[in-house]
Amino acid sequence: MQKTMNRMEYIHYGSKKFTPKLFHPITNYSVKPDGGLWASPVNAKYGWKEFCTREGFRVEKLRTSFKFTLAENANILRLTSAAQLNELPKAPNNIDKEYAAVFLDFEKLMADGVDAIQVNITGDGLYNKLNGWDCDSILILNKNIIMTDKKPSD
């Protein structure tokens, strides 16, 4: 996997600030893992705010948010097409063998050095393969890459 430089700003809704002690480690669960921190790029075409507003989902949480960037050395896996999923480790699908969604092995990805997974959900075929990833978003696997006020969060 290739490291890419990241200068983007992200927004997380539902909290006023990042609190590292509330960050739960990633564990495989389903199409989406348990743990981590979810956010959207501030300039996303279809981010969390747009999704919630359109669907009437947790709209009250949109009143509270914080912005952050990522450490310069963060290893971000950027997904823009379903074809990229073929190269990634998969976790067993213990829910429904007929379920067509891809179950990524988030624990292995993190063990392999991936700090975050950024998804452009409107990318080629991703919405159907990553069922439940409803908007352009980033999933932070490693809390140590989160930068608030230009320094790592304590």
pTM above 0.85?
A: yes
How far from chain centre, in Å, is Cα 146? Answer: 13
**Residue 143 φ then ψ, to 5°:** -65, -20
Q: Where are the chain's structural domains?
A: 10-152
pLDDT in tens, 42-52: 999 899 999 99
Task: Compute the distance between CA of residue 106 and CA of residue 104 in angstroms, rounded to an integer.
Answer: 6
Task: Compute the distance between CA of residue 122 and CA of residue 116 in angstroms, rounded to an integer.
Answer: 18
pLDDT in tens, 100-115: 788 999 999 999 999 9
